[in-house]
Structure 1
C-alpha cells in the first residue's frame, strides 16, 4: 500500500449522513481496518476523521468520516460547519440515507451545486425491515437508486468500490506538475534558497514532488542555492532548458539566467497543478488597480509558527504596500479557514497549496469567481509585482 503518498494527491472520499447511520462502521469496512470509533451512541464522531488507504482499481484514497449532519445544540452546529468545510475538498461523496430523505435532500442539492459526484447508500440492511422497500422510497424521493449495504457484515462493499470508480472525475490523476514544459533528456536547474523558511535537513514538499517528477520523466536535474547560481550555470556544459526557482527570488534569477532558458517557479507550477492558472494570471492585473483603501486576503494552506521573513505574513504584504501604500489592508487566513463572503476583498492571493488537493483549491476559485472577486496565487502575484509575469513560462497542461 502506498500510504507514503501525500494526502493532497489522494482521491478524497467523504462519508456523510445522520448520526448513527453507520458512517464509521462503513469506513472500517471500506478500509478493512478499525479506523473509526464505532458506537451505538449517536454523535460518537465529533470531528472529521481522515484515513489514508489504497483501494484496488482506484489507487491512493483519503476517506473522511464526518459528524452527523443532524447534530444538535451549539456544539452540534459547529460540527455541522466542519462537515460543510470537509465538502470543499471532497472529490466523491458517499451519502448514507434514511427512507424519508428529509435531511438528505438538502445535502444532495449542496453536493450537486459543488459538482461533487454522490453515491447514495442504504446501510444496515442486516437489521429487520424491508430494505428493498426502503430503497424504492429513497429512489422515488431523490431520483437516485441507493446501494444496499451492510457495513457490519461487509456486504455491498464491492458495489461501493465500483460506484467510486464510475464516479471518478475524468481528469483525476492526469495533472502533472511540469505539464508540457519539459521532455525526456531536458536539463532542468532548480534554484532553491535555504533561508529561515527552509526546514532544517529537508526540502519543502513542492521541491520534493517537482524533483521526483523530473526524475520520473527522465530529465537531467541540477540544483543549487541562489548565491551559487552563477557558478552553477558556468559549470554546466549547456544552458538549462528550464529553470525553476522560489518565487521570492524571481527577479534575481531572471536577471542572471541565460536568455534561452525558460523560467518558472514552484508556486507557479502548483498554480496550474492545483488550481486554474488562467484565472490566476487574469486576476493578477487587479494589483495595478489596488488603492490604499483596498483590501487583500492572503490564504495559506498550512498552519505554522510565523517566521521573521514569512512570505505570506511579511514579504508579500510588504511588496504590495510598497506598490500601493502603507494603508493597504492585508488579512490572512490559514488552513481550512476561508471566508464564505469574499466580496469585502478586492483580491485573494492563495499560496501554492501543496497541502491541499486540487478539488479544495478549485472550490475556492469557483467561490471567488461566483462572487466576482479576483484570485491569484503567490508565484503569479510576485511575478507580476516583479514586472516579469509576461516573461515566465506557464504550463498549458
Structure 2
C-alpha cells in the first residue's frame, strides 16, 4: 500500500513561469528539463521523488495552461485532467501576472476540493507587488509564497507551506480490515487462478489483503475455491471471515456456512477506496436498466486483455444475461479521459481500485455523482447478480 503513502502533488501554471526549474529546486536535483523556450513540457510527467522536509511524493509536471492551437488545447485538457489525480496543487505564477488561465485552475482546484498554494516565481527578476497580492486575494484565500528557482530564495517557506497544505489523508496508511478483526483471528482468503492471474504470483488485491491481515496481527489461510470445501471439512477451522474473489461468489456461498461472514476482495476495496454509500445505492439500479442503456466500466489499471477479462467481457456478459436487456458498454482504463458525456450513461461500474488512490477514485467518479448517474463497483455488481448482496455487505453494515 506504499502507493497511498506518497502524496500526489501537481505543478501547474502558464508556459514559461518556471515549473520545471521549480521542481528541480524543490527536489534538489535536475529531474525536469529546463528551457527558455515556452512549452517545453508538453504532456504531464509523473516523477516519484523525495522532497526535503516533506518526504516521498509523486510530482506531476504539467504543460502550460495557456497553451494554444489545436495541439495546445489537447495539452491543456490533459493538464486539467491531472487535477483529478492529485492530493495537492502548486500554482506557479510570475511577472506579477494572475490572469484568466490561473483563475481557471483555481476554479478547478476548488471544484474538486483540492488543497492548493500559489508560488510567485522569478522574484529575483521582478519582486511580488502588493497590488498583485491584492488582486489574487480578491479571487482566492490560498497561501501565496514568494520564491526564486534561480537563487533558491525562500525555499524553506515554500516547503513549509507545502507541508501544511498537503491533506493529512494523503499520509494516512489505509487498512482494509482495521476495526473488523483482532489479533489471532483466522481470515480465509479464496483466490481464483485463471488466465488473468499473473504467472507465479497473486494479483495485487490478494497480496494487499494478506499484508493488511498480517499488519492487524491476524492469521491468513489462502486456498483456491476448488479446495475450499475439503479444507473446511478436514481442518474443522471456523474462520472469522471469508474473503473471496468476486467471480467465485456463487460457488463459495454454497460452501461457507451462513454463520460465517463472507464478502469479496472488491467489496472490501469499495469500502476503503471508494464512495461506499454511493456504491450501495448505485448497484440497486441494475434491475432498472433498459434496452439501449449504456454502461461505463472503469478499470484502474491497464493490462493485457484476455477472454476472461472481468471488466471487458465477464461483467458485460453477466449483466446482459441477468437483465435480459440489450446493453451497450464502454471501458476506460487507468485514468484515461472519458470521451463521452457522463450523462450518456445509465450506470458507472468502477473496479476495485487497487492501483489508484482514494482521492483519485472520488475525483474519477465526481462528475457522475454530481450528475445523478448511479455508480457502483465490480464486487457489489457481481454480488447483486448472484443474489448475495446482503451477505456481501453484512460485515460492513451490521
User: What TM-score do the two structures reach when normalised by structure 1?
Assistant: 0.92
* Pair 1:91–1:184, CA change in 2 (3 A): same
Give the Cα–Cα distance (whole angstroms) in 1 for the partners of residues 66 and 198 of structure 2: 42
> What is the Cα deviation at residue 340 of structure 1?
6.3
1:130 counterpart (127, 150, 165): 127
CA distance in 2, matches of 1:27, 1:134: 27
> In 2, distance between residues paired with 1:235 and 1:132?
78
Q: 1:376 matched to which residue of 2?
A: 376
- CA pair 209-93 structure 1, distance change in 2 beyond 3 A: same
Task: Give the RMSD, CA atoms, in angstroms.
Answer: 2.1
Query: What is the aligned counterpart of 2:88 among 83, 88, 92?
Result: 92
Residues 1:331 and 2:327 are matched in the alignment: no
Residues of 1 paired with 2:368 and 2:58: CA distance?
26
Secondary structure of the equivalent of 1:343?
Answer: helix
Question: How many residue pairs were aligned?
Answer: 392
Q: Which residue of 2 aligns with 1:113?
A: 111
**More moved, 146-155 vs 73-82:** 146-155
With over 3 angstroms needed to count, the CA separation of the structure-2 counterparts of 1:23 and 1:235, relative to structure 1, is farther
Kept in 1: contact 2:263–2:391 (CA 8 A): no
Partner of 2:145: 147
Question: 1:159-170 alignment to 2 at 5 Å?
Answer: 159-170=157-168
Question: 2:272: which partner in 1?
Answer: 273
| Mapped contact 2:97–2:132 kept (Cα < 8 A) | no
1:46 corresponding residue in structure 2: 42
Q: 1:72 to 1:205 in 2, by over 3 A?
A: same
1:268-291 per-residue CA deviation (whole Å, 9 max, x = no partner) reads: 111112111111011101001112
Q: Given that residues 135 and 146 in structure 1 are in contact (C-alpha distance below 8 angstroms), is that contact kept between their aligned partners in structure 2? A: no
Q: Which moved more, 1:155-164 or 1:222-231?
A: 155-164
Q: Secondary structure at the match of 2:284?
A: helix
Aligned 8 A contact 2:188 2:241 in 1: yes
Q: CA deviation at 1:73?
A: 1.2
Following TM superposition, by how much is the alpha carbon of 1:84 offset from its aligned partner in structure 2, in angstroms?
A: 1.1
1:288 to 1:344, Cα distance in 2 relative to 1, 3 A: same
1:243-276 CA-partner distances (Å, limit 9, x unpaired): 1111111111111113332112111111112111
> Do the aligned residues in 2 keep the contact of 1:36 with 1:49 (CA within 8 Å)?
no
Query: Which residues of structure 1 form unaligned runs of 5+?
Result: none
Matched residue of 1:108: which SS? helix
The worse-fitting range, judged by mean Cα deviation, of 233-242 and 194-203 is 233-242
1:387 matched to which residue of 2? 387
Q: CA deviation at 1:58?
A: 4.4
Query: Measured at CA, do residues 328 and 229 of structure 1 come closer, stay the same or move farther in structure 2, by a change above 3 Å?
Result: same
TM-score by length of 2: 0.92
- Aligned-residue offset at 1:124: 1.6
Tell me the SS of whatever aligns to 1:308: coil
Deviating more after overlay: 83-92 vs 176-185: 176-185
**Is 1:61 aligned to 2:57, yes or no?**
yes
Could you tell me which residue of structure 1 aligns to residue 241 of structure 2? 242
CA distance in 1, matches of 2:61, 2:239: 46
Q: What CA distance in whole angstroms lies between the structure 2 residues aligned with 1:117 and 1:251?
A: 43
Query: What is aligned with 1:18?
Result: 14
CA deviations 1:309-360 (Å, max 9, x no partner) are 1101111011100012252212222222324621111111011121221111
Task: Confirm whether residue 184 of structure 1 aligns to residue 157 of structure 2.
Answer: no
3-state SS, counterpart of residue 79 of structure 1: helix
Paired residues of 2:7 and 2:58 also in contact (CA < 8 A): yes
Q: Provide closer, same or farther for how the CA distance between residues 383 and 178 of structure 1 changes in structure 2, counting only shifts above 3 A.
A: same
**Counterpart-to-counterpart distance in 2, 1:254 and 1:54:** 46
TM-fit CA distance, 1:292: 2.2
